[in-house]
Amino acid sequence: MPISRRQLMIVGAGLAGAGAIGALGRQWWRETPPAGFDHDLVAQPTPLELVHGYQTPAWAYGASAPGTELRVRQGDWLRVRFHNRLPVSSTVHWHGIRLPLEMDGVPYVSQMPVLPGEYFDYRFRVPDAGSYWYHPHQSSAEQLGRGLVAPLIVEERDPTGFVHERTVSLKNWHVDEQGAFLPFSIPREAARNGTLGRLSSVNGVPLGVVEVPAGEVTRVRLLNLDNTATYRINLKGDAEARIYAIDGNPVEPVPLLEDYWLGPGMRLCLALRPGAEGGEIALRDGPMRLGTFKVIAATGGGQLWPPRLPRNPLPEPDLANAEIVPFNFEWAAKPSLLAAQASAPSLWQVNGQAWDIDDKTCAERPIARLRLGRTYIFELRNLTQYQHPIHLHGMSFKVIASNKRKITPYFTDTFLLGRNERAQVALVADNPGTWMFHCHVIDHMETGLMAAIEVA
Ligand SMILES: [Cu+2]
């Protein structure tokens, strides 16, 4: 009797091995999606009270910003009907998810923009468990800045041992003291670290509070959904914290002992065990408090530290036969451009090419062409004085080396490339398409720091 793909997938997940699912073929999640949808996702103007007594004219997925948390089980279909009730066209990009190009949400590359009043059905299978997120890939500084960001949680197929779980979404808001929006991108700032919002928030609430039970282990999914900020994550208070996954992918659990630099788009999965009821643990960005874990009564569950989370079915790069591809991230601007009134001046470039967000044909000129199924080592060279969280669509990569720090190899979709850092990341080019490769500081991306990589 033939075994269905679904049965194979369940067997594969049970073995929890990269090889088990990977052996089904490079494109095992590429199938014809079942018709219909399970989620109505509405993007629309949603006034929020971020500053007490004032309304901020936010845009949101659902009733809050960050928006509706979508949850799906690893290996299952995510079927979302996206309704655009914004005054502008938009798309949805699923950050970190390996999926077919036509579901990737990049306007003019993977789909046409979804116009106001229209809808679009996103349907894809999710191969990897972990913490992900979704956001538009059009007019991103404004659309993400106004609040169109939300968590996407892919649950492991089998119980992980975690009894309690919290999602903690971080975002800074570009608002003034009356809650009015400030510019999302200022050329002077875009040419430096990026334009920073002034009001930080935890789950959409300035100095937000998250409850965790006393003496028990809670899985805390920290998501940086901000346009610009790199949060130097640390905890202050009576608690023990261990890192269980980075950007969705499990790692050997290690204690969180010093600041973890969480760049825009990046995620950190912690296990947190606080002390006694009534206590408070500050969630901090360096010395600054972002929010608070409030310790509530114990529930009687979750006393044990769970084992390492199961690996995702990622293809292992064949380093011995890899081809090296250099990528230089550079400054592009002439000083005169800083004063220019252009909506998106060219300030940054990759291998000598600045992406122009107003030119719909940029993706027709990919910066690299990769052969399907081959392993590549990307040599990332940051020739600037600013850090750049480098993100690739469609595939995950393995960080293998850096000239600035000791690397324990790990898989990710976003690597925070430090100033003047040179790093190597490796991947199997197993997903055909034209994929965006860009900095996730949104106004760096919109002023040149984006490129297309073709896999064929
Ligand atoms: Cu950047």
Q: Classify residue 297 by burial, with Cβ atoms within 10 Å: 0-12, 13-18, 19+.
A: exposed
Question: Who contacts 92 (Cβ-Cβ below 8 Å, separation ≥6)?
Answer: 41, 80, 82, 105, 120, 122, 134, 135, 136, 137
CA of 390 relative to ligand 1 center, distance in Å: 7
So what's the pLDDT on residue 334?
61
CA of 385 relative to ligand 1 center, distance in Å: 10
Question: Who contacts 258 (Cβ-Cβ below 8 Å, separation ≥6)?
Answer: 234
CA of 203 relative to ligand 1 center, distance in Å: 24
CA of 309 relative to ligand 1 center, distance in Å: 31
CA of 344 relative to ligand 1 center, distance in Å: 14
CA of 320 relative to ligand 1 center, distance in Å: 31
CA of 343 relative to ligand 1 center, distance in Å: 18
**Within 13 Å of residue 207, how many CA atoms lie on the same side as its CB?**
5
- Res. 337 pLDDT band, cuts 50 70 90: low
Mean pLDDT of 34-53: 96
- Res. 346 pLDDT band, cuts 50 70 90: confident
Torsion sign over Cα 94, 99, 103, 109: positive
CA of 441 relative to ligand 1 center, distance in Å: 5
CA of 410 relative to ligand 1 center, distance in Å: 21
Kindly report, residue by residue over 315-330, the tens digit of the pLDDT: 999 999 999 999 999 9
Alpha-carbon distance of 204 to 200, in angstroms, equals 9
**What is the signed CA dihedral for 363, 364, 368, 373, rounded to 10 degrees?**
90
Q: Under CATH, domain 5-155 is a member of which superfamily?
A: Cupredoxins -  blue copper proteins (2.60.40.420)
Is residue 426 pLDDT above 90, yes or no?
A: yes
**Within 13 Å of residue 375, how many CA atoms lie on the same side as its CB?**
14
CA of 388 relative to ligand 1 center, distance in Å: 4
Q: How would you label 103-134 residue by residue, b for 16+ Cβ within 10 Å and e otherwise?
A: bbbbbebbbebbeeeebbebbbbbbbbbbbbb
> What CATH number belongs to 319-455?
2.60.40.420
CA of 216 relative to ligand 1 center, distance in Å: 38
| DSSP state, residue 261 | E
CA of 88 relative to ligand 1 center, distance in Å: 26
Is residue 338 pLDDT above 70, yes or no?
A: no
Q: 137: which 2 tokens?
A: 């890939």
Alpha-carbon distance of 297 to 61, in angstroms, equals 33
Domains 5-155 and 319-455 share a fold: yes
* Domain range 164-296, its CATH number among 2.60.40.1730, 3.90.1150.10, 3.40.50.2000, 2.60.40.420: 2.60.40.420
Q: What is the DSSP string of 184-195?
A: S--HHHHTTT--
CA of 223 relative to ligand 1 center, distance in Å: 18
CA of 425 relative to ligand 1 center, distance in Å: 17
CA of 415 relative to ligand 1 center, distance in Å: 11
CA of 153 relative to ligand 1 center, distance in Å: 26
Torsion sign over Cα 315, 316, 322, 328: positive
CA of 228 relative to ligand 1 center, distance in Å: 9
Largest CA distance in the chain: 70
CA of 73 relative to ligand 1 center, distance in Å: 32
So what's the pLDDT on residue 33?
86
Task: Tell me if residue 155 falls in helix, strand or coil.
Answer: strand
Q: Provide the percentage of residues in the chain whose pLDDT is more than 90.
A: 86
- Res. 28 pLDDT band, cuts 50 70 90: low
Is residue 7 pLDDT above 50, yes or no?
A: no
CA of 445 relative to ligand 1 center, distance in Å: 7
**E strand or H helix at 442:** helix 442-445
CA of 389 relative to ligand 1 center, distance in Å: 6
Mean pLDDT of 404-425: 97
Mean pLDDT of 33-40: 92
Nearest to 102 by CA among 113, 92, 110: 110
Q: 118: which 2 tokens?
A: 């229209």
Is residue 358 pLDDT above 60, yes or no?
A: yes
Is residue 22 pLDDT above 90, yes or no?
A: no
Kindly report, residue by residue over 201-219, the tens digit of the pLDDT: 999 999 999 999 999 999 9
Sequence spans of domains, the chain: 5-155, 164-296, 319-455
So what's the pLDDT on residue 31?
77
The answer to whether residues 222 and 246 touch, using CB atoms and an 8 Å cutoff, is: no
Examine residue 66 and say whether the peptide bond preceding it is cis (omega within 30 degrees of 0).
yes
User: Model pTM greater than 0.85?
Assistant: yes
**What is the signed CA dihedral for 180, 185, 187, 193, rounded to 10 degrees?**
110
CA of 230 relative to ligand 1 center, distance in Å: 11
CA of 365 relative to ligand 1 center, distance in Å: 21
Answer with the residue of higher pLDDT: 226 or 359: 226
